[in-house]
Structure 1
Amino acid sequence: MNKKKTARSLALMVLGQIFEEGAYSNLALHQALKASSLSEKDKGLVTELVYGTVMRKITLEWYLAHVIEDRNKLDSWVYHLLMLSLYQILYLDKIPNHAIVNEAVELAKKGRGVDKFVNAILRKLIDNERPDITTIKRKNKRFSVQYSLPVWLVKKLIDEYGEERAIKIFESLLIRNKASVRVVNSQNVEVLKEEMQAELSLLSDVGLVKPSGHFAGTNAFIEGRITIQDESSQLVAPTLNLQGDEVVLDACAAPGGKTAHIASYLTTGTVIALDLYEHKLALIEQNADRIGVADKVVTKKLDARKVFQDFGADVFDKILVDAPCSGIGLLRRKPDIKYSKEAADFETLQQIQLEILDNVCQSLKKGGIITYSTCTIVAEENYQVVEAFLAKHPNFTQVRLEHKRKDILQDGCILITPELYGSDGFFISQFQRIS
């Protein structure tokens, strides 16, 4: 087998883990590449094939439904192979169609007679005129197929943002995410910009971005001068307006990017980082250690809904609740999320988000602030949580957040949708205890 086939067979294996076993695309891919001896170029191809196929799944399935009579009669790996091959035919210009078909037929030989079937289906898709998505009559269904989003999510985002802005969001989710990092010492931004041949972030004063790149392999990363963090997520810690001597709670801290960012502002203060799992606490510690702030970070295994029972009243100067959420703002980076969620999840998550806020707010000192953030862009997890919290807690008031980019400010909160700056979708709000 030559290397290209190996790249495709690895991509096929990872797709099986994602679609059949519910593995997370980023984790499954990372593990497969780590264990593989492929060249960097071939690893890049595997990444492209896996993310591209997962990202465009609904579109690919729609085309395949026109040439496959009964999908349920196919072994799942055969169907994944057809999706993988069709993704290349439709979206990758550099690989000629005959090569794509040949490689697919080779991979199909592990099943008896499957190679002829795969060859016939792919030939049909190449030689005949393909069906036209624009002829789909129902608008939400058409957008669903065109942008590979579930119909319920299409409807949700149109209801929330209006059709024009929603379509811009849909389009932006099909663009591969940028590589972005936070510069640990703000005085080194210009130096590192040159060293990494990167651009300054339009959102974060300490952010650098590139269209793509493997920052984790650089000397700057190994030496702890940069850390990998999306530019929208870099806006959270600065809202806490830290003076250096505070006791801060990071209530839902893993993997620790924001914990480390908070710690970088502290001199005599401490940030207590909570998570439910030991292995995630270890990640927080590694992250803090690598960038030299471990002496400011204390980790603790605890459910954020039990903070008051564990710590008592009036303990923290400032609290960050970067709440568990649907992750709808991360679809560009974790495209499999859109197939595992449903609209009902928002209500369940809102309940958890409010339970966390209700509990941690009892451990905040008078005059202290809570920053509440999520990586989602739906109102149930954002504005509705803000309203519900304030309605229930008259001893808190909303703090209106500011930013130099006025298009991300709404109702005193920061709301970044993915199309605005090509970043993750993100929401940040803040409350202050007044009595």
Structure 2
Amino acid sequence: MSGSGKTTVLGMPLRMYIALLAITVFIACQGYLLNNIMGAFACAMIVGTAFGLIGDKIPVWKDWLGGGILFANLAASFINTFKLFPESTIKTMTVFNGSQGFLELYVVILIFGSVLSVERRLLIRSFIGYIPTILGAIAGSFILCAGAAVLLGGSPVESVLSIAMPIMGGGNGAGAIPMSKIYGEVTGNNPSVWYASAFAVLMLGNIMAVLFAAFLNRLGERFPALTGNGKLLDVPSLSKEGPAQKQNAEISMITYAAAFTLALFVYMGAHYYAGKVSLINNYLHLGFKIHKFAFMIIFVMLLNISNCVPDDLKAAAKNIQGFFVKYLSFPLLFCVGLSTNLNDYIKVLSIQVIVYVFVVVLGACLGAALVGKLFHFYPIEAMITAGLCMANAGGSGDVQVLGTAKRMELMPYAAISSRIGGAILLVIASFMFSKFM
């Protein structure tokens, strides 16, 4: 909300926005929302932004509980749980976010703009140490989870298998679901037996990760030496000026079109490579696959390192990323929330489970910080990316965590945690299920 002496929302006078909001809610409640991308986008922009702005104004909540990002998400989940919108409206919104690709587009733009705008040598140095930092987060979560089980009189192995692994597995579609299939194949039991509880624990872990993100953001404000404010690597900049510093330069509209087109092209190429070309995905049959987001990160890194993308196009990509973060985060989290149900969290609410989830997320943060320090990573950024983005609910969880932490520029690292880190967990799960189940 801004304006020169007048309150505006999305650049509109407040009265005009409130009128749009009231009419949109009325149409959505009537079940007469346009059943396509236009109706869904309008509803997400208008209603999602409203919830986000409200969350950013609530005392305590805005500083410690995720602010507008989490509020928009939980408000949408509340709407879905209590059926305040008809099923047709919910379906339109969830299809828009899912199969129509709103969430994918958001992540693609953030990956493209973030990776392309990082100084080349910094980019190489940061990614070299990132996988070991993820492994540190996994080790930390497993160790603390097993330790908590010993103190609470439970089984350390069982606690790791049923709580730590689903939380650290990279989300639902790329983590809990394939992990349950591995469980079924290894044990001969019904995969749904393991999956039902794993999904509920995973959702609770996502909420805990978002709360940790809010805390770490405040910790960084209190102790500035612990954070790079969105930069992972704790070294002086290797260049005096890069595309991120040229954002305010004159950039033609055609350059924005070129940057947007190139982002979509690289993602399309990554999709084809993952599905048809990759040895790991198509020929080696290792029991897991590398997600196309991971290949996209590699391809954009190669574009950056090869220096074949003009500086003005890099700056345009960075500016488009900034637009998505500033104006589309609340709408996105509103859409994500409409596909969740508050009852999924309530199912597993018990003091013991909450303690387990807390120590898993804490262990992920501590493990990431300790190993990340060896590679000169800022502790808070290492904990957010390699820790919390391993412990959240995958792609949508990455958006929630980074939005709450106010560090959306870290999306490439978050995507590696959710995708490559998730693939690593599937390998670990395959071993542990066969060894201990």
Return the TM-score normalized by structure 1. 0.21
Question: Which has more radius of gyration?
Answer: 1
Return the TM-score normalized by structure 2. 0.21
Structure in which a larger fraction of residues adopt helix: 2
Structure in which a larger fraction of residues adopt strand: 1
